[in-house]
Structure 1
């Protein structure tokens, strides 16, 4: 490991470390496993559109199929190549995230953990799209009669990861121009 990698407090593992020795890889794998296990439990125990109340007035588990993109976009539209288009868009987004992280993300923990959460979530949902043709969503947060979009572990990870990435981008010192 280089001296810079050791000296950087935000650095989780050296870039030269073997992939299986990097905490980011294990974090991503753990996230994908948790996401897929939670969806498997939903598929086995909750019927389509069935609701299980967890916290009355706040949280239900409701199994829905998301055949569209994030937050149900394109759900109302059906066309022949929709599953292929949505999966291709997901792959392009994942590749864009990987490129961005490699090019711009720093060693600070918000960027590194944000990257793990976004990639793990994207892979979890991509597995659903490729194997099932839809994403399993089941977390139903609501207040009175207003319901947020149903989501899953992968969606939550992507959202939190995006916030961490944005915080790193907005508040990182490496983006501040040096005084002349």
Structure 2
């Protein structure tokens, strides 16, 4: 793409989808509610004050500022990389997804002090940790970054 800011449009779409789905969950469900949809999938309302897989969720509150700081710095670095590498399609798409997901969850942390998760996949009694649209974007973006790195062995970005 000629203009690096066009990649921000993808991030904005991720943020919008993430916030709209979370807002729907907050309005439609009380904390802890679960709506079974299939034999392996529920819609739930869960709150995560930690990071991925609830890492540091019970840390006593300091983690909110920590995660806000980390997400803010990471977002600034991603925007810098988008500006520098905006003509590299796969790399920029991956960064756009990660940025949109990071900002979607950052908005939750600032707004509520936790991230709203609502997608609950399970098998029998084993439940994968609940997640949201932002988490999917971050995971997808990371997979694309790995793919991009594998496509260019020895190549360096910075």
Structure with more contact order per residue of length (Cα contacts < 8 Å, sep ≥ 6) = 2
C-alpha separation between the residues in 1 aligned to 2:100 and 2:64? 21
Counterpart check, 1:175 vs 2:155: yes
**Corresponding residue for residue 78 of structure 2:** 97
**Corresponding residue for residue 127 of structure 2:** 147
Residue 76 of structure 1 deviates from its aligned partner by 2.2
Following TM superposition, the consecutive aligned residue runs of length 4 or more in structure 1 with deviations greater than 4 angstroms are: 99-103
TM-score, reference length from structure 1: 0.78
Counterpart check, 1:129 vs 2:113: no
**Corresponding residue for residue 78 of structure 1:** 60
Q: 2:97 aligns with which of 101, 117, 129?
A: 117
| CA-atom RMSD in angstroms | 2.1
Residue 55 of structure 1 deviates from its aligned partner by 1.4
Q: Deviations over 1:153-179 (max 9, x none)?
A: 000000000000111012126729xxx
Q: 1:157 to 1:170 in 2, by over 3 A?
A: same
**Corresponding residue for residue 87 of structure 1:** 68
C-alpha separation between the residues in 2 aligned to 1:82 and 1:37? 25
Q: How many residues align?
A: 156
**Corresponding residue for residue 29 of structure 2:** 46
C-alpha separation between the residues in 1 aligned to 2:68 and 2:8? 23
Q: 1:26 to 1:99 in 2, by over 3 A?
A: closer
**Aligned residues of 2:15 and 2:103 also touching (Cα < 8 A):** yes
Counterpart check, 1:69 vs 2:51: yes
Q: 2:8 aligns with which of 10, 19, 25?
A: 25
SS in 1 for 2:37: strand
Q: Can you give the 5+ residue segments of structure 2 that lack an aligned partner in the other structure?
A: none
**Aligned residues of 1:108 and 1:168 also touching (Cα < 8 A):** no
**Aligned residues of 1:121 and 1:153 also touching (Cα < 8 A):** yes
Residue 136 of structure 1 deviates from its aligned partner by 0.4
**Corresponding residue for residue 42 of structure 2:** 60
Counterpart check, 1:138 vs 2:118: yes
Q: Deviations over 1:15-49 (max 9, x none)?
A: 4x7x3xx2x22221111111000000000001101
